[in-house]
Each structure stands twice: as C-alpha cells, then as structure tokens.
C-alpha cells in the first residue's frame, strides 16, 4: 500500500518559540512508521501576506509567490498534525492566516493536534481549532498530545522526559492514519470537490 502523506505543521512563528522542539519530536515519531511519509511544514519558513484578496479576486503577485511554497505541500498531504501553542486562550494568528489562505487543500482530510503551553497545555487552542477545521470539511481526531508546562517537559536532547508521551503519540497517529486511509480511498473514488460543486 502506498504510504500516507502527513504534513506536520509548526503553527507558531514567534521569536524564541518552543514549537520546533515539539514538532521535531512528533515528526520523528511519525517517521519511525513504515506507513507514512512526513513533511515538516514550518510556517516561519513560509510567510504569507496578512491581507487576503476580495472574494472572487485573484491574489496579488506577491501572494501568489508566497503560496507557491506552502500550497502544494498542503495539497499533497493526506493528513495533518497541527502543532500549536496557546496565545490568549486560542491559537496563533500565523496559523489562522495559513488556514484562511487555503480551502480545498484541507477538505475531506483528517487533522490531529499536538499542543503545548503552560497550565492548560494549549488545549484551549485545540478546541478553537476544531471549530475552525469543521468549517473546512475536515475530520478532527479525538486523541491529542498535550504538554503542560512544556518548557520543563523536554530534556536538552529535545526529547520528552515523560516516556508516556510516546504511546500517546502512537494512539494519535493510529487514529489519524485510519481516517487518512479511508478518506484517501473515498476521494479517489469520488473527488470531494466535484461532488460538492455538483450538489
């Protein structure tokens, strides 16, 4: 069977952010499986304009150039894992901007979440993201991986100190990839966009 393509998205672009540590750990866990190909997408490396075009209007040449890096990677993915911190009880503006610049790239695909932060571990950001992704016709999986007081949960080697994180990541991946396989088959048999336009 052809491996599933998983995009692991680093949602924070803040200077000094902790997101790459969390995302690299999770991406390495996913790469250890033989049923998935991982693409680590760092939004700090793919900056997008903050101003979206009017409905029905083409993006500016600057936006088109910026989207050339990110859009094909989202399009190619069969599933996504969003790695997010919590900013003011929600998720980063950089992540919402990347989400809003796209639509069909998310459709009929599953999304999982790995969050980190202080006492809440980023879980309030995850709950807000579930509502946003539902509007984009995605399937969000139930299981999450969350790091409370994240900066003290990882060692200098970039790995979590708690060995229980590994099984939690595997549970998330099992759920996510089940949906990814089922939805990839469904899209191949009956493309979701064509079906929606014909309705």
Reported as a single tens digit per residue, the pLDDT across 58-111 is 888 888 888 999 999 999 999 999 999 999 999 999 999 999 999 999 999 999
Mean pLDDT to the nearest integer, 30-45: 96
3-state secondary structure of 108: coil
Q: What is the pLDDT of residue 176?
A: 98
Is the model's pLDDT at 128 over the cut of 60? yes
Alpha helices in the chain (DSSP H): 19-31, 61-76, 93-100, 123-135, 165-189, 192-198
pLDDT of residue 194: 54
Boundaries of domain holding 104: 4-54+61-198
Q: Please tell me the total count of domains within the chain.
A: 1
Token reading at 197:
């336009």
Residue 173 maps to which CATH number? 3.40.50.360
């Amino acid at each position: 069977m052809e491996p599933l393509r998983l995009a692991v998205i680093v949602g924070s672009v803040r200077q000094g952010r902790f997101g790459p540590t969390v995302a690299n750990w999770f991406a390495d866990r996913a790469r250890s499986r033989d049923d998935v190909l991982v693409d680590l997408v760092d939004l700090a490396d793919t900056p997008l304009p903050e101003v979206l075009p009017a409905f029905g209007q083409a993006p500016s040449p600057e936006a088109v150039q910026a989207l050339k890096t990110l859009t094909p990677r989202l399009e190619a993915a069969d599933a996504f894992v969003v790695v997010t911190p919590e900013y003011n009880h929600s998720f980063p503006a950089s992540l919402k901007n990347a989400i809003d610049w796209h639509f069909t790239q998310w459709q009929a695909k599953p999304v999982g979440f790995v969050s980190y932060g202080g006492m809440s571990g980023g879980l309030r950001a995850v709950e807000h993201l579930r509502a946003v992704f539902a509007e984009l016709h995605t399937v969000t999986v139930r299981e999450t991986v969350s790091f409370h007081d994240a900066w003290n949960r990882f060692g200098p080697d970039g790995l979590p100190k708690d060995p229980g994180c590994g099984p939690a990541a595997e549970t998330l991946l099992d759920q996510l990839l089940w949906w990814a396989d089922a939805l990839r088959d469904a899209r191949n048999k009956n493309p979701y966009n064509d079906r929606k336009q014909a309705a």
